[in-house]
Amino acid sequence: RLNCQKAAMRSLRLARNSSIHDHERLVYEGWILYDTGHRDEALEKAEQSLSLQRSFEAFFLKAYALGDSSLDVESALSVVQLLEHANSCASDNLRKGQAYNNMGSIYVDCDLLDEATECYSIALSIKHTRAHQGLARVHFLKNRKKAAFDEMTSLLKIAKNSASAYEKRSEYAERDAAKSDLNMATLLDPTRTYPYRYR
Q: What is the DSSP string of 27-74?
A: HHHHHHHHHTT-HHHHHHHHHHHHHH---HHHHHHHHHHHHTS---HH
Residues of the chain above pLDDT 70, percent = 97
**Alpha carbon distance 57, 86 (integer Å):** 7
**pLDDT at residue 172 is higher than 70:** yes
Identify the pLDDT of residue 70.
62
Q: 44-54: per-residue pLDDT in tens?
A: 999 999 999 99
Q: What is the DSSP string of 104-120?
A: HHHHHHTT-HHHHHHHH
Identify the pLDDT of residue 145.
95
Contact between residue 168 and residue 134 where contact means Cβ atoms under 8 Å apart: no
Q: 107-159: per-residue pLDDT in tens?
A: 999 999 999 999 999 999 999 999 999 999 999 999 999 999 999 999 999 98
Identify the pLDDT of residue 5.
83
Q: What is the mean pLDDT of the chain?
A: 93
Q: Does residue 12 belong to any structural domain of this protein?
A: yes
Q: Does residue 98 belong to any structural domain of this protein?
A: no
Cα angle: 144, vertex 98, 126; to 5 degrees: 75
**Alpha carbon distance 79, 82 (integer Å):** 5
Q: Does residue 51 belong to any structural domain of this protein?
A: yes
Residue 71: band (very low, low, confident or very high) from pLDDT cuts 50, 70, 90 = confident
Q: What is the DSSP string of 143-185?
A: T-HHHHHHHHHHHHTT-S-HHHHHHHHHTTS-HHHHHHHHHHH
Q: Does residue 11 belong to any structural domain of this protein?
A: yes
79-99: average pLDDT: 95
Identify the pLDDT of residue 169.
96
Q: Does residue 175 belong to any structural domain of this protein?
A: no
Identify the pLDDT of residue 104.
97
Running DSSP on this structure, what letter comes out for residue 91?
A: -
Q: Does residue 75 belong to any structural domain of this protein?
A: no
pTM of the model: 0.87
Q: Does residue 80 belong to any structural domain of this protein?
A: no
Q: Does residue 6 belong to any structural domain of this protein?
A: yes
How distant is the alpha carbon of residue 28 from its chain centre? 19
Q: 9-49: per-residue pLDDT in tens?
A: 999 999 999 999 999 999 999 999 999 999 999 999 999 99
**Alpha carbon distance 43, 82 (integer Å):** 12
Structural domain harbouring 7: 1-67
* Number of structural domains the chain divides into: 1
